[in-house]
Amino acid sequence: MPEAQSALVLLAEDELRFDVVFTDVVMPGMSGIELGREIRRLYPGLPVVLASGYSTVLAEKGHDGFELLRKPYSVEAISRVLRKVIRQRAT
């Protein structure tokens, strides 16, 4: 099962297990942006963070308002983005 489909199955089983979804933009099958859109549709309060090393993909498609970490990223950058989206979710 492709990665994005696996994520959707896990969310369908128990979305309350997840505080945030962290996904790469480029994946086989459904892209991370498409996955984020589907998560936003099904679970509107669940934050999605995208990671990408391919700025051309994002230049063509945009990142639909999802938080974005550009590779390579640091632990501090991950921590900062996760704190931000979890804080936004709480408000």
Q: Domain holding 12: CATH number? A: 3.40.50.2300
Please tell me the predicted confidence (pLDDT) of residue 78: 96
Give residue-wise pLDDT tens across range 26-65. Answer: 889 998 999 999 999 999 999 999 998 876 555 456 568 8
With pLDDT > 70 as the criterion, what percentage of the chain qualifies?
Answer: 89
Element (H, E) at 59: helix 55-61
Please tell me the predicted confidence (pLDDT) of residue 73: 93
What pTM, to 2 d.p., does this model score? 0.86
Beta carbons of 58 and 52 less than 8 angstroms apart: yes
Q: State how many domains the chain has.
A: 1
Please tell me the predicted confidence (pLDDT) of residue 54: 73
How many angstroms separate the Cα of 62 from the Cα of each of 32, 35, 40? Answer: 12, 14, 16
- In which domain, by residue range, is 73 found? 3-90
